[in-house]
């Protein structure tokens, strides 16, 4: 049995360089499947109950209940199971382009390297014609099929696309033609014939269906007779022209669909990268009323954002908000914080973290000019008492720092629209070392 896991690269998963479809050679063991997305575990995070889910699926555990054993879990203490991740990377897979005839078979961790060099992988024409084809056919496509291939018109010496050369020749001003009225003017450039038609003694003698293939030529009186005697033939020529046009439109429609699908894939990847590697997070908090009630009752006093990065190879951060306030400000102010998480590039970053962080509570007023955002700026000090917050994390994340008095709860309703709250967190990168 072969399991095809196109969803293995689902949008919620953190990007790790894998952007290909994964086709497992054998049936995927149940313990290596995520119970939330039903795909192979992507960066498996071990829950407190012992089961694992994808890193990108952790935020989907809204009920905080494991789907496999129904135990309550604490998503704030999940950890990456490197052993399980290694086991998944050793699974046997086929080339993502096995349908194109590629016989390669190997372990998952080698798939990306293989696909990058696979001659049977599908690529989109780099010249922009919109066609998809196997990499090995690239030269053939450029030489014989690409509509963007440029050729030189033999008559006017202008460059035109190969696909458009026949259309060009029908209007090229330098192509030699004879007068369509069968006068004595023969084999002259089209631009000269066009000027001649205004004074041609046999003007009006060509059939109106000449563009569709009718070759009749004659005087005006004979032309009227010809039109009355040949309606069926003219209709047939017209139908042939319509069918040819329909075929061309169908081909263009297929190319358009291919280009749209490719653009959608690129947009999805762009959105993922923007969320993961931007220096700011625009955090959408849904179900605000319910979460406020949970905070007020003490059931769930703090809500966490998804982790985000200060840059592609920067600090890994996470935001949190106490919707009913924190500490002495409980019941009075909304509190907001940011915490530094253990990241992949911590060993080559500068410590302690001393970069300015700006929290902005977004005003949803549709009139931008009248918006009154709440802004709070934190400039971390590297003093001794702040080092537990700002030093390189030795556990999953440091204690959070931020603003206990961020927004008065009495005016908070002004910033809630459709039971949604938006908080923007911006990290100043002006003095940050770019890796």
User: Which domain CATH number covers 288?
Assistant: 2.60.210.10
SS3 37: coil
Q: Give 3-state DSSP helix, strand, coil % of the chain, rounded to 5.
A: 35, 20, 45
**CB of 23 closer than 8 Å to CB of 94:** yes
Whether residue 109 lies inside any domain: the answer is yes
- The count of domains in the chain is 4
Whether residue 294 lies inside any domain: the answer is yes
Whether residue 398 lies inside any domain: the answer is yes
Report for 91-105, 198-212, 250-264: range of highest mean pLDDT: 91-105
Question: How do 22-24 and 3-5 pair as beta strands?
Answer: antiparallel
Segment 71-89, tens digit of pLDDT: 888 888 888 999 999 999 9
What's residue 166's pLDDT? 82
For residue 283, pLDDT beyond 90: yes
For residue 274, pLDDT beyond 60: no
Helix or strand run (H / E) with residue 114: helix 111-117
For residues 291 and 417, state if they share a domain.
yes
Return d(Cα 206, Cα 81) in angstroms, integer.
81
What's residue 271's pLDDT? 59
For residue 201, pLDDT beyond 80: no
For residues 263 and 391, state if they share a domain.
no
Can you list the alpha helix ranges (DSSP code H) found in 32-76?
none
DSSP β-bridge partners for residue 40:
33
For residues 244 and 287, state if they share a domain.
no
SS3 94: strand
Whether residue 128 lies inside any domain: the answer is no
**CB of 161 closer than 8 Å to CB of 149:** yes
**CB of 177 closer than 8 Å to CB of 171:** no
How does residue 14 score in pLDDT terms, banded at 50, 70 and 90?
very low
Whether residue 179 lies inside any domain: the answer is yes
For residues 295 and 384, state if they share a domain.
yes
DSSP β-bridge partners for residue 402:
337
Question: What CATH number does residue 103 fall under?
Answer: 3.30.40.10
Whether residue 130 lies inside any domain: the answer is no
For residues 289 and 411, state if they share a domain.
yes
Provide the terminal-to-terminal Cα distance of the chain, rounded to the nearest Å. 44
Going by C-beta distance under 8 Å and a sequence separation of 6 or more, which residues neighbour residue 191?
173, 174
For residue 357, pLDDT beyond 50: yes
307-327 burial, b at 16+ Cβ within 10 Å, e below that, comes to bbbbbeebbbbbbbbbbbbbe
% pLDDT > 90, the chain? 36
User: What's the whole-model pTM score?
Assistant: 0.40
For residues 213 and 189, state if they share a domain.
no
For residues 223 and 170, state if they share a domain.
no
For residues 98 and 112, state if they share a domain.
yes
Question: In 3D, which of 95, 147, 142 has the Cα closest to residue 119?
Answer: 95
For residue 412, pLDDT beyond 90: yes
Whether residue 213 lies inside any domain: the answer is yes
Whether residue 106 lies inside any domain: the answer is yes
Question: In 3D, which of 331, 340, 357 has the Cα closest to residue 412?
Answer: 331
For residues 156 and 177, state if they share a domain.
yes
Going by C-beta distance under 8 Å and a sequence separation of 6 or more, which residues neighbour residue 398?
339, 340, 341, 388, 389, 390, 391
Going by C-beta distance under 8 Å and a sequence separation of 6 or more, which residues neighbour residue 167?
none
For residues 48 and 177, state if they share a domain.
no
Domain, as residue range, for 272: 206-277
For residue 202, pLDDT beyond 70: no
What's residue 107's pLDDT? 93
State the average pLDDT over residues 60-78.
81
For residue 341, pLDDT beyond 50: yes
Dihedral, 223, 227, 232, 237 alpha carbons, nearest 10: 60
Residue finishing a domain among 233, 257, 277: 277
């Amino acid at each position: 049995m072969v399991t095809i896991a196109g969803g293995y690269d689902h949008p919620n998963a953190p990007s790790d360089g894998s952007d290909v479809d994964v086709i497992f050679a054998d049936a995927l063991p149940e313990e290596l499947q995520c119970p939330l997305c039903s795909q192979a575990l992507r960066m498996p995070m071990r829950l407190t109950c012992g089961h694992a889910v994808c890193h990108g699926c952790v935020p989907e555990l809204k009920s905080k209940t494991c789907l496999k054993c129904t135990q309550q879990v604490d998503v704030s203490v999940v950890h990456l199971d490197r052993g399980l991740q290694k086991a998944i990377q050793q699974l046997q897979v086929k080339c993502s382009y096995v349908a194109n005839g590629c016989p390669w078979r190997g372990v998952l961790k080698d798939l990306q390297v293989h696909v990058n060099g696979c001659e049977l992988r599908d690529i989109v024409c780099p010249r922009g014609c919109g066609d998809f084809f196997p990499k090995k056919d690239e030269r053939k496509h450029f030489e014989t099929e690409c509509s963007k291939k440029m050729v030189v018109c033999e008559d006017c010496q202008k460059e035109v696309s190969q696909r458009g050369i026949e259309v060009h020749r029908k209007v090229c001003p330098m192509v030699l033609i004879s007068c369509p009225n069968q006068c004595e003017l023969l084999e002259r450039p089209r631009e000269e014939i066009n000027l001649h038609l205004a004074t041609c003694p046999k003007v009006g003698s060509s059939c109106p269906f000449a563009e569709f293939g009718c070759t009749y030529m004659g005087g005006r009186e004979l032309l009227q007779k010809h039109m009355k005697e040949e309606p069926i033939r003219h209709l047939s020529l017209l139908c042939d022209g319509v069918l040819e046009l329909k075929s061309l439109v169908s081909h263009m429609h297929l190319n358009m669909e291919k280009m749209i699908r490719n653009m959608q894939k690129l947009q999805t990847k762009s959105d993922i990268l923007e969320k993961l590697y931007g220096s700011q997070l625009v955090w959408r908090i849904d179900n605000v009323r319910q979460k406020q009630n949970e905070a007020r009752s003490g059931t769930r006093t703090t809500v966490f954002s998804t982790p985000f990065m200060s840059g592609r190879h920067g600090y890994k951060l996470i935001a949190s908000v106490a919707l009913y306030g924190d500490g002495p400000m409980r019941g009075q102010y909304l509190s907001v914080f940011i915490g530094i998480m253990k990241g992949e590039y911590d060993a080559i970053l500068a410590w302690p973290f001393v970069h300015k962080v700006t929290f902005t509570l977004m005003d949803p007023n549709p009139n931008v000019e009248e918006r009154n955002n709440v802004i709070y700026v934190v400039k971390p000090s590297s003093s001794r008492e702040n080092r537990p917050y700002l030093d390189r994390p030795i556990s999953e994340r440091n204690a959070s720092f931020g603003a206990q008095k961020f927004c008065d709860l009495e005016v908070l309703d002004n910033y809630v629209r459709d039971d949604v709250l938006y908080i923007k967190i911006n990290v100043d990168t002006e003095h940050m070392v770019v890796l």
